[in-house]
Amino acid sequence: MSNDPLTRNHLWIDGEWREPAGADRFEVIDPSTEQVVGSVPAGTDADVDRAVAAASAAFPIWSATPLPRRIDALQKLLDGLQERAGLFTDTLSLEVGAPLTVARFLQFGFAVDTVRSYLDVLPEYRFEERLGSSLVLREPTGVVACITPWNLPLALILQKVVPALAAGCTVILKPSEITPLNAFLLADVLAECDLPPGVFNLVSGDGPTVGEALAAHPGVDMVTITGSTRAGRRVAELAAHSVKRVHLELGGKSANIILDDADLEECVRIGVDQLCLNSGQTCLAWSRMLVHRDRHDEAAELAAKFADAYRVGDPRDPATAVGPLVSAAALARVRHYIELGSAEGATLVAGGPDRPSDLDQGYYVRPTVFANVRNDMTIAQEEIFGPVLSIIAYEDDADAVRLANESNYGLQGAVWSESNARALSVARQVRTGQVDVNGAPLNFAAPFGGFKQSGYGRQCGPHGLDEYLELKSIQLPADVETNEIKSAIRLTEH
C-alpha cells in the first residue's frame, strides 16, 4: 500500500500516487476524542484538471472493455475489500465515530453488499435489445465525477463508483474532507484490480474547491452527488452550464406511520432503533413518528423509555450503542434544533441539548424525543441529521398520509399495520422513493432515491446502473439477421 493509512500525502491520478499541486491539507478528527488522527491533501483546480485529463484519456479503452473483464475487476474489488475488512472497519469507526458493531455491519457491510449486488445484476443486464426495426444500445455516459458524503462514506462511494465502472465509465472521486481515509484505502484496493490507468482517480478536497471544479468542468460528462439539498442545488447550477447529466441523492425527513391496529410497543421500539442508527446521521432516518391521536401519549412514553436506554459513549467500547456525531459543526447543528424544538412548543420527553454527564470530551448528544409536535414546526420539516425524533398525532389513515406528504422531502418512510394489505394501501399513497412495509428488509437490487427536494435519479440495482448509461437507437434494415448483429459486436470488441 502507498502511504501511512492515516496520513496520506498523495492523490491517485492516472494509475499512480501523485504529488498534489498544492501544500494545504485537511486534518481528520476522531469525533470521540476531538483529537487529530490523520490528514490528507487538499486538492486544487489543477489536480482536478489532471484527473479529468486522465479519465478522459482512459474512457475509450475502458468503455470498449468487454463486460466479463469489467466484472472480473469488480470481483477483485470485492475480494480486496473482504481481505481488508478489519482495517476498513477500524478506520470507519475512527473517522465517523460509529461504534465498531455499526461500522462492521452498516458502514462496511453495506459497502460490501453493494459490490455483491452489482455482481449479481451485471450478467443479466441488457446492454442492448432489439425493438422492432431498431437496435437499442445502452452506452457508458463518459467521465463521471462522484461527490460523496461523510455519514456512510464507503457504502455511498461504492453506490456510485461500482455502477459507473460497471457501465464502462471512468471515475473521479471526491470524498468528504471530514471522512476521507476510507476512500484512500479503497484506492489502495482498486490499484490492485487491473484497471487501466485513469479509469479510477481520487482527488480529496472540499466542496467549494474540488467539488465545484468537478461540477463545472467541461471534461466531466456526469456528476453524481449524495449530500444536502443546498449542495445538490449548487452542483446542478454549475453543471447546467455544460448541460452534463446530474444525479442527486439529497436529504430526507421520513415519516414512520404507525397505524392504529399495529403493535405500538414493537413499532415504537423499532422506530427509535432506526432513528438512532449511526447516531441519527442517515438520510433515510425515520425522524417523524406518526401515531394515532388516541395513542400519542403512550407512544411518547414508550419512545422516551427506549431512547433513555441507549448507551452513548466510546465507539471502541463493545457496550456502546450510540457514538458521537461526526464533528463539532454537526453537534452545534443538532443542539440548535433541539433548543428550537423546545422554543417552538414541542414537549421534550427524552434527551436534550446537553452532552451525557459521564462524557467530558467528544461530539456527543443524547437520543432525544419530542412529543406534541405539529407538522409545521421546524423540527418536523427540516433535516436535523442527529438522533432527534418528532412524534406527531394524526386523526385517521388519510390524515396520516397528508402529514407524511406535507414535506419538502420524499426519500424514505415506513408503514406499520396488523394488515399487510392496509399498510400497502397507505404506502402507495406516500410520496417517497422508498417505503418499508411492516419491517421488510432492505433490498440492494431495488432502486433507492427520492421525490421532491430529496433529489432525482436512482442508486442500487439495475436502475442504479441505468444512471450511468446513455440510450442510442440504431435503425436497422429489414433484412438484418441476429448473427450479423453478433458479428458486429465481435468486431467492435476487437
Distance of CA 334 to the CA centre of its chain: 20
**Band of pLDDT at residue 483, cut at 50, 70 and 90:** low
| pLDDT over 80 at 15, yes or no | yes
In tens, the pLDDT along 216-251 reads: 999 999 999 999 999 999 999 999 999 999 999 999
| Cell (9 digits) for 209 | 474547491
Contact 316, 418 (CB under 8 A): no
The set of residues, in sequence order, having a beta carbon less than 8 Å from that of 488 and lying 6+ positions away, is: none
Please provide the DSSP assignment of 307-318 as one string. HHT--B--TTST
Contact 384, 405 (CB under 8 A): no
Quote the pLDDT of residue 250: 97
In tens, the pLDDT along 364-411 reads: 999 999 999 999 999 999 999 999 999 999 999 999 999 999 999 999
Q: What is the pLDDT of the chain when averaged over all its residues?
A: 96
CA distance 128 to 148: 30
Task: Residue 388: name the closest of 475, 469, 276 by CA.
Answer: 276
Contact 224, 457 (CB under 8 A): yes
In which residue are the cell numbers 486534518 written? 27
Strands 35-41, 16-18: pairing is unpaired
**Band of pLDDT at residue 51, cut at 50, 70 and 90:** very high
Quote the pLDDT of residue 405: 98
Cα angle, residue 222 at apex, residues 185 and 48 outer, rounded to 5°? 55
Cα angle, residue 337 at apex, residues 103 and 286 outer, rounded to 5°? 50
User: How big is the chain by its Cα radius of gyration, in Å?
Assistant: 23
CA distance 465 to 125: 9
| pLDDT over 50 at 317, yes or no | yes
Quote the pLDDT of residue 385: 97
Contact 276, 310 (CB under 8 A): yes
Sketch the domain layout of the chain as residue ranges: 11-250+454-472, 255-437
CA distance 157 to 168: 17
Please provide the DSSP assignment of 1-34 as one string. --S-SSB---EEETTEEE--SS--EEEEEETTTT
Quote the pLDDT of residue 489: 55
- Reply yes or no on domain 11-250+454-472 having CATH 3.90.470.10: no
Strands 16-18, 11-13: pairing is antiparallel
Contact 412, 284 (CB under 8 A): yes
**Band of pLDDT at residue 276, cut at 50, 70 and 90:** very high
- Residue 459 DSSP label: B
CA distance 115 to 95: 22
Quote the pLDDT of residue 362: 98
Contact 157, 183 (CB under 8 A): yes
> Counting beta carbons within 10 angstroms of the beta carbon of residue 56, is it exposed (0 to 12), middle (13 to 18) or buried (19 or more)?
middle
**Band of pLDDT at residue 262, cut at 50, 70 and 90:** very high
CATH architecture observed for domain 255-437: 3-Layer(aba) Sandwich (3.40)
| pLDDT over 70 at 1, yes or no | no
Quote the pLDDT of residue 40: 98
**Band of pLDDT at residue 179, cut at 50, 70 and 90:** very high
Quote the pLDDT of residue 296: 98
| Cell (9 digits) for 443 | 433490498
In tens, the pLDDT along 184-226 reads: 999 999 999 999 999 999 999 999 999 999 999 999 999 999 9
| pLDDT over 80 at 311, yes or no | yes
Quote the pLDDT of residue 162: 98
Percentage of the chain beyond pLDDT 90 is 96
Quote the pLDDT of residue 401: 98
Distance of CA 69 to the CA centre of its chain: 27
In 3-state terms, what secondary structure has residue 46?
Answer: helix
| pLDDT over 60 at 447, yes or no | yes
Quote the pLDDT of residue 64: 97
Strands 255-258, 413-416: pairing is parallel
| pLDDT over 80 at 484, yes or no | no
Lowest mean pLDDT among 346-350, 443-447, 485-489: 485-489
Question: What average pLDDT score do residues 418-427 get?
Answer: 98
Quote the pLDDT of residue 165: 98
CA distance 327 to 334: 11
Quote the pLDDT of residue 479: 78
Active-site residue set? 249, 283
Quote the pLDDT of residue 480: 76
Contact 241, 389 (CB under 8 A): no
Distance of CA 441 to the CA centre of its chain: 17
For 306-340, b/e burial (b = at least 16 CB within 10 A) is bbeebebbbbeeeebbbbbbbbeebbebbbebbeb
Lowest mean pLDDT among 95-99, 274-278, 486-490: 486-490
Quote the pLDDT of residue 478: 81
**Band of pLDDT at residue 492, cut at 50, 70 and 90:** low
Quote the pLDDT of residue 494: 45
Cα angle, residue 239 at apex, residues 46 and 405 outer, rounded to 5°? 135
Contact 29, 37 (CB under 8 A): yes
In tens, the pLDDT along 116-142 reads: 999 999 999 999 999 999 999 999 999
Quote the pLDDT of residue 25: 98
